[in-house]
Amino acid sequence: MKYILILFLLTCNTLLAQFELQREYPFTNETITTSDIFPQAKTATLFTIMPKKMYYRIKSKDLIKKLQKHHINATSKASIITFKRAFSFDMKPLHVRLKKYYQKHYPDIKIDSLHVRPKSYMQKLPESYTIHIPPKNFHRNEGTFYIKTAKKKKFFFTYSLKAKLRVVITKKTIARKESITPFNTKLKVVNFKTFKSPPLSKITSATQWCANIRLKEGRILTKRDIKPTPLIKRNENVIAVVQTGSLHVELSAVAQKDGALYDIITVQKRNGEKLKARVIGAHRVEIE
């Protein structure tokens, strides 16, 4: 029995010697104890964090020394250990609003997790408030927003989400002005990340869009990468319609630039006169 006890103690000491500190620890109580770091340890006070402080950082070597005083051996790969305040009040209303915000822009998005955190100390959410999310936050998977109370007091929050999104990617290199079709693109589910422009989730028509720039194979297509397919091309002969009351006149002209449906372009008549016209169909414009 004596040898078994000795073996047990040696095993415990070995486990403690292998204990590695995490880079971050959450806290709700400002008094940090050994059991906050190492749950199996006997509870003893290590240090106290000032009230309402959101973060507390301590050198890992200093924390290791404090733990050693209580017979806990630890190591750390990080030079600094951060204690981050955790909040116990219900932030579900904020989660719901953020999820709806992303689902509005990406109907097919699958949100795996969402973390919301106040930027300053709070005991609870106000009873009445409005949520304000910056217009372009949906481009990225993390950001900042604020809530405003009836008394116009603002509380700021940070958030991050992990999600998956269906996007359109190129199957081959696509030349500038080449049509975007199901034959040169495909759908793929990717981890949501920060995008400079919203990614496309589908191709609605085989002839509706063309490449705005040269697109390499495997590129995730965004709204910046495409533009409506021109119905009229530069230097193309067009029929220009002039409608004045009951008077309807059609004349020949030459387009001075490409134009998609309803674009305003310049056309040149046979006599050299240049006019502004709106694209109304293939090879047809209406003089403004």
* Domain of residue 263, CATH code: 2.30.30.760
Task: State which of 43, 69, 85 marks the end of a domain.
Answer: 85
Q: Determine the pLDDT at residue 7.
A: 44
Report the alpha-carbon distance of residue 66 to residue 210 in Å, rounded.
Answer: 64
Task: State which of 229, 248, 277 marks the end of a domain.
Answer: 229
Could you tell me if 185 and 251 lie in one domain?
no
pLDDT tens sequence across 243-287:
887 788 888 999 999 888 888 999 999 899 999 999 988 889 898
Q: Determine the pLDDT at residue 164.
A: 96
Could you tell me if 256 and 281 lie in one domain?
yes
* Domain of residue 134, CATH code: 3.90.1210.10
Could you tell me if 99 and 222 lie in one domain?
yes
Domain residues for 179? Answer: 88-229
Report the alpha-carbon distance of residue 132 to residue 94 in Å, rounded.
Answer: 11
Kindly write down the DSSP assignment for every residue of 189-245, as one continuous string.
EEE----SSPBP-----SSSEEESS-B-TTPBPBGGGEEEPPSB-TT-EEEEEEEET
Could you tell me if 222 and 129 lie in one domain?
yes
Could you tell me if 188 and 266 lie in one domain?
no
Q: Determine the pLDDT at residue 205.
A: 60
Q: Given the structure tokens 């359109």, which residue do they identify?
A: 168
Task: State which of 40, 69, 85 marks the end of a domain.
Answer: 85
Could you tell me if 223 and 246 lie in one domain?
no
pLDDT tens sequence across 131-172:
999 998 999 999 999 999 999 999 999 999 999 999 999 999
Better pLDDT: 17 or 219: 219
Q: What is the pTM of this model?
A: 0.70
pLDDT tens sequence across 85-139:
999 889 999 999 999 999 999 998 999 999 999 999 999 999 999 999 999 899 9
Could you tell me if 146 and 130 lie in one domain?
yes
* Position 230 confidence tier, pLDDT thresholds 50, 70, 90: confident
Q: What percentage of the chain reaches a pLDDT higher than 90? A: 64
Query: CB neighbours of 274 closer than 8 A, spacing ≥ 6?
Result: 256, 266, 267, 268
